[in-house]
Amino acid sequence: MPTDVWEIVGFSLACSVPVVAIGATVIRLARSWSLTLSMVVLVLIPTIATFTGVLGASGFMLSPQSETLTVVLVIVSVVTIPAAIMLARYQARRTVWEQEIHESEETAEQSRRQLVAFVSHDLRTPLAGIRAVAEAIADGVVEQDEVILHAKHIEHETIRLSEMVDDLFEMSKINAGAVQPAYDKVALDEVVDDVVSAHRIAAERAGVALHARVPATPVGVIGSDRALVRVLSNLVANAIAHTPEGGTVELAIGSDGEGAWARVDDTGVGINEADLARVFDVAYRGSNGRVPREDSSLPSGSGLGLAIAAGLVHAHHGTVSAYNLEHGARFEVRLPLAGEG
C-alpha cells in the first residue's frame, strides 16, 4: 500500500510539476502582457496542473472519479476565469488611478517649488528699489525737489508688488482647484469693451494701437464675466508688453462650429518655436523678452499672467493656445457657446 501511494505521488508530480514550470516560465518571459491576460494564466496554471496530476495518478485512465474531478475543474475554471478578468481590470484601473494621482502630486509639488523660486526672485527687485530710495530719503542724500519723483517711484513699485500678490493669490487658487466660475450667461462683446477700456491708456503710452473686432451678432458663453475679463486682460497686457512702438494689438471674438473663440493678435517679436509649448507654464521665462519702454511707470506684470489665463480658461472647460503669425503672435481662447454645455 505505501508503495502504491508513493507511485501515485510520483506520477502526479511528474505530470503537474512540468505544467507549473512551463507556466511560470511563460509568465516570466511575457512581461509585456496585459494584467488581465496574466491573471487568466495564473488561474489556468493550477487548474491544468491539478488535472494533469490526477491523470498521471490514474495512469491516464479515465475512471468515474477522474471524470467527476474533470467536470469539477471545468466548472471551477468557468467561474474563476471571469472573476480573474474582473479583478485584473479593477486592479489595472486602480493602478492607473494611483499612478495618475502620484504624477499629479509630483507635478503640483514641482509647480509650487517653481512658483516659490520665481516669486522669491521677482519680489527682490521692487523691494530692493523701495528700500534703496527710502534709505536715500531718510539719510537726506536726496534733494528736496527730487523727493516727489522718488516717491512716485516707490508708488509704482508698491503697485507692482500689489499686483504680484494678487496674481499669487489667484495662482494658488488655480493650483488648488478652488476656482469655480459662476455659471452665468456672459456676452463676450461686453467683456471685450471692458478689456479695451482698461488697456487703452497703457497702449497709447506704449505707442501701440489697440483695436477690437466684434461680430454683429453677440457671442454668448457660460461662466464668470470677471474671470473672462481677467483672461483677456492678461493676454492683451502680454501682447502690448511684447509689441514695439508703432505696432498693433487686436482683440477679436467670434464663433464657429467648434464654439466661441477670442483671439489676441499682435505685431510684436513673436515667440520662439521651442517656447510655444511652455508659454502657459507657471514661472515660464521666454527667451524673447519684453520690449524696452522709456516710460518705466508702465505696468510690467508679475510674469504669471499667461499661467493665470490658462487656469481660468480650463476652469471654464475651454482651451487656450499660442502660435506665431507672419508678423507677431496669436493667443486664442476657445470656450463652449451658451447652451452647449
* pLDDT digits (tens), the chain, 341 positions: 444 666 667 766 776 777 777 777 776 766 666 666 676 677 677 777 777 776 666 665 556 666 676 677 677 667 766 776 677 677 777 777 778 777 777 766 776 676 666 666 667 767 877 888 888 888 888 787 788 888 887 887 787 777 777 767 777 776 666 666 667 899 999 999 999 998 998 899 889 999 999 999 889 998 888 889 889 998 999 899 889 999 999 999 999 988 999 999 999 888 888 888 888 876 665 555 555 555 555 555 556 788 888 888 988 889 999 999 988 999 999 999 986 54
The answer to whether position 329 is within a domain reads yes
Whether residues 90 and 187 fall in one domain: no
Give yes or no for a contact between 40 and 85, defined as CB atoms under 8 angstroms apart. Answer: yes
Whether residues 209 and 325 fall in one domain: yes
The answer to whether position 251 is within a domain reads yes
Q: Last residue of a domain, which of 48, 67, 101?
A: 101
At position 335, the amino acid (one-letter code) is: L
What is the reported pLDDT for 200? 92
Number of domains making up the chain: 2
Domain extent at residue 82: 2-101
The answer to whether position 259 is within a domain reads yes
The answer to whether position 341 is within a domain reads no
Listing DSSP states for 3-66 in one string gives HHHHHHHHHHHHHHHHHHHHHHHHHHH-TTS-HHHHHHHHHHHHHHHHHHHHHHHTTT---HHH
Query: What b-and-e string marks burial along 148-181, b requiring 16 or more CB atoms within 10 Å of the CB?
Result: eebeebbebbeebbebbeebbebbebbbeeebeb
Whether residues 293 and 196 fall in one domain: yes
What is the reported pLDDT for 84? 67
What is the reported pLDDT for 254? 93
Q: Is the pTM of this model over 0.75?
A: no
Whether residues 184 and 314 fall in one domain: yes
What is the widest separation between alpha-carbon atoms in the chain? 120
What is the reported pLDDT for 62? 59
The answer to whether position 316 is within a domain reads yes
Q: Last residue of a domain, which of 101, 126, 155?
A: 101
Q: Last residue of a domain, which of 70, 101, 132?
A: 101
The answer to whether position 71 is within a domain reads yes
Write down the residue that cell numbers 489665463 correspond to.
309
Strand partners, 265: 250, 330
The answer to whether position 138 is within a domain reads no
Whether residues 330 and 189 fall in one domain: yes
Whether residues 234 and 92 fall in one domain: no
What is the reported pLDDT for 98? 77
Grid coordinates representing 76? Answer: 471551477
Query: Where does 115-235 show beta strands of DSSP type E?
Result: 184-187, 209-213, 220-223
The answer to whether position 247 is within a domain reads yes
Q: What is the CATH number of the domain that holds 256?
A: 3.30.565.10
